[in-house]
A and B are shown apart, each in its own frame.
Chain A
Amino acid sequence: MSLFLQRMIEGLSNGAMYGVVAVALVIIFKATTLINFAQGGLAMFGAYMANVFAIEQGLPLIVGILLGAAVMAVVASGIERVLVRPFDPANHLPVVLITFGIAYILQAVAAWKFGTEFKSFPSPFPSGPNDHIEIAGARLRYERLGVVLVLMIMVGLVHLILNKTKIGLAFRAVSSNTESAKLVGVKTGRTLNFGWALAAMFGGVAGGLVAHFTQLDSGFMDKILIFSFAAATLGGLDSINGAVIGGLIIGLVESPVQPMVRDYVPGFHFLTSDLALLVAFLLILAVLLVKPAGLFGTTRVERV
C-alpha cells in the first residue's frame, strides 16, 4: 500500500511535468494546428540557462529557473519572427521541419557551449533525505509535491492570461478564426509570437523542474517531449485542461500502473520501465485511431 502510494505520487509529479510541457504544445497547436517539436529543445536550453544563472552566477534557484524561462521566451519569439512567420501557415510541413531543425540546433549549441557530460541539477524545493511527509507509511517527498503545485500554479496562470487579458482574447480569437481575427483588427503575427513566447516560458519552467530528476544534458528533454506529446494527444491537442489531465494520466501509467502490471500480472515481466516510451507511442497511436479529438478536445460545432 505504501509502495503504491509512493509510486502514485511519483507518477503524479512526473505527470505534472509532462502536463506543463503538454500545455506548451497545446498553446502552439491551438493557434497554428501544428506540433512544435522544438519545445523539448527550448525547455532543455532553458534548464541550462537556469544552471548558468543559479549555479554559476549564484542567484536563487527559483529566480534562475524563471530567468531561464524568460530567456527562452525571448528566443522563441525571435524564432517565430525569423524562421516561422515567413512561411504560409496553411502549409504545415515546412514549419514542422523547421521546428525539428531548431530542436537539433539547440541541442548542438547546448552540447558545444555547456559540454556533453551529465550535470546534476538541484530542486527548487527541499530535497534532503528528511524532506518528506509520511502518510500511511508512504514518503511523499517535497520535491515531488512541489512539482504538482507548480503545475497547478502554471495552469491557473495560463487560464488567467487567456481569459482575462486583452492579448489572451486576441490569442483565442486567432485560434478560433484567423481571418475574422484580422477583421476585428488583431495583428495575427504578433499574437502568434506571443503564443510562442508563452509556450517557451512554460517549457523553460518545466525544463528547470525536470532536470533535477533526470540530470542535465543536451538530450534530457527528448523522452519528456514524447510523453508530453502523448499527454497532449490523449487530452485533446487543443485543450489546456486536457493536456494537464493527459499528463497526469501518462504519469500514472508510467508509475504505478506499469510496475504494478509488471509485478502482478502473469506474463508481463517484460514490461520494464525501458518500455515506457513504447507504451507512450502506442497510446498516441491508439488515441489517433480511436478518438482523434482526444478526451477533451473539441470537434467544432459550426453552422453555416
Chain B
Amino acid sequence: MSVLEVQDVRARYGQIEALHGVSLNVEDGEVVVVLGANGAGKTTTLRAICGMVATTGTVNLHGTNIVGTDTADIVRMGVAHVPQGRGTFPELSVVDNLNVGAYVRKDKEISADIDKWFEIFPRLAERRTQLAGSLSGGEQQMLAVARAMMSRPKVLLLDEPSLGLAPLIIDDLFKQFASINAELGTTMLVVEQNANLALGIASRGYVIEAGEIVLSGTAEELRNDDGVRAAYLGV
C-alpha cells in the first residue's frame, strides 16, 4: 500500500485555482521527486498534503483521507514538512528549534536525538545557543531538516531544499537525505528545480506544469526524457 496517495487534488488561493487535479503516490520507504518550473504548483502540492491550503480531492496517508484535517494533527500522524524558505523559528535558539521539533513526542529520547542530529550537522552543534535567525542560509536549511526529523516522521516533505545554497553544501545535504532514507527508512517527497540532484536520490518522479502532472516515470526514464533534459537538466 502507498504511504501517501494524492488523488485528483485541487487547491485554491481565494478565487484562483492553483492545482487542477493532481494525482501522485509514494510507496513506503521510497524517495519521490516532483519537478517543475516556478509557479507550477510544487509548493502548493505539499501545502495541500499538509492541510495548509483550501483543498478538494483525496489525500490518503496510510489509507486515511486527511483532506480537511488540521495541520497539527497531520503532523501527529507522522508527516514532517520542511517548507520553502526553511520555516525555522528565528527568535528561538538552535537547540530550542530542535526541542520544538519534537513537540509531538512523549518519549524520553529527545535529548539523545538532539545530540544525534548535532553529530550529523556539527555546524549546528557549534551554534546550539545561537538564535536561528542569525544562522547562515545553509545552516538554517540544516536546522530545518533536523527540526523536521526530530518528530521522527514516517513521511518527510522537502520543498526545494537546495534553494540558495552553495553547491558543496547542497551535495552534503542530499547525501544526508539519502542516508536518512537508507538508515531510518523515512519516506520522502522532494520538490526540486535542481533535477540532477533530486533524481540522484529518487527512485521515481513527477513533472508538474501549471497545476497539472504532465509526466511521471522512474528516475532513469525522467533523466532520459528529452523534455526533462531540456527544461530541468540544462542539456
Residues in A lying within 8 Å of B, measured CB to CB = 166, 169-170, 172-173, 175-177, 179-188, 298, 300-304
The docked-state distance in angstroms from the alpha carbon of A258 to that of B81 is: 55
Evaluate contact between A170 and B103: CB separation under 8 angstroms.
yes
- Evaluate whether A303 and B140 lie within 8 angstroms (CB atoms) in the complex, with A177-B89, A183-B50 already known: yes
The A interface is mostly helix, strand or loop, or mixed, namely helix
Query: B147 to chain A: which residues have CB within 8 Å?
Result: 184
Query: B161 to chain A: which residues have CB within 8 Å?
Result: none
B100 touches A (CB below 8 Å):
yes
The docked-state distance in angstroms from the alpha carbon of A152 to that of B140 is: 36
Q: Total interface residues on B, using CB and 8 Å? A: 35
Query: A301 to chain B: which residues have CB within 8 Å?
Result: 90, 131, 133-134
B136 touches A (CB below 8 Å):
yes
The docked-state distance in angstroms from the alpha carbon of A302 to that of B134 is: 7
Query: A182 to chain B: which residues have CB within 8 Å?
Result: 52, 71-72, 75
Query: A173 to chain B: which residues have CB within 8 Å?
Result: 89, 92, 100, 103
- Evaluate whether A183 and B87 lie within 8 angstroms (CB atoms) in the complex, with A170-B103, A172-B96 already known: yes
Nearest 4 pairs of A and B residues by beta carbon: A185-B75, A185-B104, A176-B89, A180-B87
Please, which residue of chain B has its CB at the minimum distance from the CB of A301?
B133
B151 touches A (CB below 8 Å):
yes
Nearest chain A CB to B95 CB, angstrom units: 11
The docked-state distance in angstroms from the alpha carbon of A298 to that of B100 is: 21
The docked-state distance in angstroms from the alpha carbon of A302 to that of B52 is: 23
Query: B137 to chain A: which residues have CB within 8 Å?
Result: 303-304
Evaluate contact between A186 and B91: CB separation under 8 angstroms.
no
Nearest chain A CB to B78 CB, angstrom units: 10
B176 touches A (CB below 8 Å):
no
Evaluate contact between B72 and A187: CB separation under 8 angstroms.
yes
Which B residues, 72 to 121, have Cβ-Cβ distances below 8 Å to chain A? Answer: 72-73, 75-76, 80-81, 83, 85-92, 96, 99-101, 103-104
Residues in B lying within 8 Å of A, measured CB to CB = 50, 52, 70-73, 75-76, 80-81, 83, 85-92, 96, 99-101, 103-104, 131, 133-137, 140, 147, 151, 164
The docked-state distance in angstroms from the alpha carbon of A170 to that of B76 is: 15
Residue B87 contacts which of A170, A179, A185, A188 (CB distance < 8 angstroms)?
A: A179
- Evaluate whether A300 and B133 lie within 8 angstroms (CB atoms) in the complex, with A173-B89, A183-B81, A184-B151 already known: yes
Residue B96 contacts which of A169, A187, A298 (CB distance < 8 angstroms)?
A: A169
Evaluate contact between A177 and B87: CB separation under 8 angstroms.
yes
A-B contact pairs, 17 of them (CB 8 A): A172-B91, A173-B100, A173-B103, A176-B92, A177-B88, A180-B87, A182-B75, A184-B104, A184-B151, A185-B103, A185-B104, A187-B72, A300-B90, A301-B131, A302-B90, A303-B133, A303-B137
Residue B72 contacts which of A169, A186, A304 (CB distance < 8 angstroms)?
A: A186
The docked-state distance in angstroms from the alpha carbon of A186 to that of B103 is: 7
Nearest chain A CB to B73 CB, angstrom units: 8
Most buried by B among A166, A170, A185, A304: A185
Nearest chain A CB to B138 CB, angstrom units: 10
The docked-state distance in angstroms from the alpha carbon of A180 to that of B134 is: 17
The docked-state distance in angstroms from the alpha carbon of A301 to that of B131 is: 9
Evaluate contact between B133 and A186: CB separation under 8 angstroms.
no
Evaluate contact between B92 and A184: CB separation under 8 angstroms.
no
Query: A188 to chain B: which residues have CB within 8 Å?
Result: 72
Evaluate contact between B85 and A304: CB separation under 8 angstroms.
yes
Query: A172 to chain B: which residues have CB within 8 Å?
Result: 89, 91-92, 96, 100
Nearest chain B CB to A187 CB, angstrom units: 5
Please, which residue of chain A has its CB at the minimum distance from the CB of B137?
A303
Query: A184 to chain B: which residues have CB within 8 Å?
Result: 75, 100-101, 103-104, 147, 151
Please give 14 more A-B residue pairs, beta carbons under 8 A apart, in addition to A185-B73, A300-B91, A304-B86.
A166-B103, A172-B89, A172-B100, A176-B92, A177-B89, A180-B87, A182-B71, A182-B75, A183-B50, A183-B71, A183-B80, A185-B103, A302-B133, A304-B85
Evaluate contact between A303 and B136: CB separation under 8 angstroms.
yes
Nearest chain B CB to A165 CB, angstrom units: 11
Nearest chain A CB to B166 CB, angstrom units: 14
Please, which residue of chain B has its CB at the minimum distance from the CB of A183?
B81
